[in-house]
Amino acid sequence: MEKVHLIQIDDPTDFEFLCCEVARMEFGDFAAARYGRKGQEQDGIDIFAINRNGANEQVVVQCKHKENTIKPNYKNVADEMVVELQKTIDYYKNGFDEYIYACNLKNDKTMQDKAAELTQLSGKKVWVWSEEYLEQSVRRHPSLQAHYAHGNTDDAVLLLNPEFLNKVKNGKPAAFKFYTGLTDELCQWIGVEHGLAALDERRDKVMAKLEGLLDKKILGQRVVTVVEGQGGSGKTTLLRRIALERAKAGDACWWVRSMDTFMGSYTEAIGQNQHLRHLIFVDDWYTYMKGDPGKEFFNLADRRQSAKCLCPDWRPQLPVRRVRQVLLPRYPHCIGSRGEPGHP
């Protein structure tokens, strides 16, 4: 198998995004978020995270994107690490347990020794994330490879993480483009967030029924949404609304447009983060009713008690009996046809 290599990142902000994604995967904290923005005083912190894979330690990450990566002065870098750590300690005192200095430089003994020394002196766990470490993390987590490995530019799976939610919240809605669909996916998300989607009693009933099912703490419960309607009737829009609301409530919401990509690269992230509730929205799900990877997907849902499936876009020409045969034996609850609560 060809070895995965990290892409070159030339922009400091893009480097912060990479480190934030790595923190989410390494610590199992999908709510890990960047702190402030470029130009603001951040007191030595660029990212906040909680180590869900450990003992819920509070983790802060300082990201340093260096221009000189050929012959850097590692002693100066180590000295900078001391200054940045002290700045964070002075401001936050006991507000964190681990400190990570992330940079786009090669592994170096000077930095590693300084991190070990600071761990002893400060009482905080101090680590260095070098370029090699970040590349190894991308190799360990296939979901990172879609955006950060050479040769991969796949947007077929979207995780509604804090950056995406902020982008949607701060986006400018464009009514004409939203209603005509003459633009990219982001415009549709922004339109839903800013209330361009019309509301009606039917949608409210579906929302109320579905949210009631999601809030129940029933072991092994699965939820499948089947919404039948004509093209442009608002099936996908309804599910976007639900996805945005549940993501804001803390659920890990995945919007899947390619089952091959999801099954090949993202299921590991669900398995490693079962402390979260994962809601998987499969766009055009009827495409995967036959064979694999559709069969693999429903088998995955059976094995992962933390994963629940919500499927927008239902084509009436497919026999309803197939829904009964494939879904109902596996899932105790369904939202039924034409957007009305009940079994199809």
Mean pLDDT score across all residues of the chain: 77
What is the reported pLDDT for 344?
A: 31
CA torsion sign for 244, 143, 125, 68 is: negative
Ranges of CATH 3.40.50 domains, the chain:
158-339
pLDDT at 298 over 90: no
Nearest-angstrom CA–CA distance, 58 and 121: 19
pLDDT at 107: 93
User: What does the pLDDT read at residue 154?
Assistant: 55
Q: Which segment of 51-55, 116-120, 145-149 scores lowest on mean pLDDT?
A: 145-149
What pLDDT score was predicted for residue 279?
84
Could you tell me which residues come within 8 angstroms of residue 39 by beta carbon, excluding any fewer than 6 positions away?
A: none
Q: So what's the pLDDT on residue 339?
A: 37
Question: What is the 3 state secondary structure string of 112-136?
Answer: HHHHHHHHHHHCCEEEEECHHHHHH
Q: What's residue 335's pLDDT?
A: 43
If one compares 167 and 296, the residue with the highest pLDDT of the two is 167
Give the residue with greater pLDDT, 153 vs 205: 205
Q: Over the stretch 185-244, which tens digit does the pLDDT of each residue have?
A: 888 899 999 988 776 566 677 667 766 766 655 445 555 555 666 666 677 888 888 889
pLDDT, tens digit, 9 for 90 and up, residues 19-29? 999 999 899 88
Tell me the mean pLDDT in the region 272-281: 79
Residue 244: the pLDDT is 92
Local confidence band at 302 (pLDDT 50, 70, 90 cut-offs): low
Q: Which residue has the higher pLDDT, 10 or 2?
A: 10
Give the separation between CA 292 and CA 280, rounded to whole angstroms. Answer: 17
**Region 287-315 average pLDDT:** 60
Residue 333 has pLDDT above 90, yes or no: no
Strands 223-228 and 98-103, bridge-based pairing: unpaired
How many percent of the chain have pLDDT more than 70? 66
**Residue 3 gets which letter from DSSP?**
P
The answer to whether the CB of 193 falls within 8 A of the CB of 168 is: yes
Predicted confidence (pLDDT) at residue 280 exceeds the cutoff of 90: no
CB 175 within 8 A of CB 162: no
pTM tops 0.85, yes or no: no
Neighbour count for residue 67 (Cβ, 10 Å)? 9
Supply the pLDDT for residue 200.
57
Burial class (CB in 10 A: 0-12, 13-18, 19+), 264: middle
Taking 80 as the threshold, does the pLDDT of residue 111 lie above it? yes
The per-residue pLDDT for range 62-104, each reduced to its tens digit, is 999 999 998 999 999 999 999 999 999 988 877 899 999 999 9
Residue 341 is predicted with a pLDDT of 34
* pLDDT above 50 (res 334): no
For CATH 3.40.91.50, the residue range(s) in the chain are 12-152
Q: How far apart are CA 339 and CA 111, in angstroms?
A: 58
Task: Summarize the confidence of residues 283-311 as an average pLDDT.
Answer: 62
Helices (H), 46-200: 74-92, 109-122, 131-140, 142-148, 162-170, 175-180, 185-193
Is domain 158-339 annotated with CATH 1.10.150? Answer: no
* Domain at 12-152, CATH from 3.40.91.50, 3.40.50.2000, 1.20.1420.20, 2.160.10.10: 3.40.91.50
Q: Which among 274, 271, 279 is positioned nearest to 308, based on CA atoms?
A: 279
Does pLDDT of 176 surpass 60? yes
The pLDDT of residue 97: 94
3-state secondary structure of 34: strand
* pLDDT computed for residue 338 by the predictor: 39
Contact between 50 and 44 under an 8 Å Cβ cutoff? The reply is: no
3-state secondary structure at position 32:
coil
Looking at per-residue pLDDT, the higher value among 109 and 139 belongs to: 109
Average pLDDT, integer, range 263-291: 71
Question: What percent of the chain has a predicted confidence (pLDDT) above 90?
Answer: 31
**What's 4's DSSP letter?**
P
The pLDDT of residue 236: 80
The amino acid at 41: E
Taking the C-alpha atoms of 242, 246, 248 and 251 in order, what is their torsion angle to the nearest 10 degrees? -150
Task: Determine phi and psi for 285, rounding to 5 degrees.
Answer: -65, -25
Gap between the Cα atoms of 29 and 20, Å rounded: 10
Q: List the one residue out of 258, 303, 252 whose CA is nearest residue 279.
A: 252
Q: How confident is the model at residue 260 (pLDDT cuts 50, 70, 90)?
A: confident
Using left for φ > 0, alpha for ψ between -120 and 50, and beta otherwise, residue 269 falls in: alpha
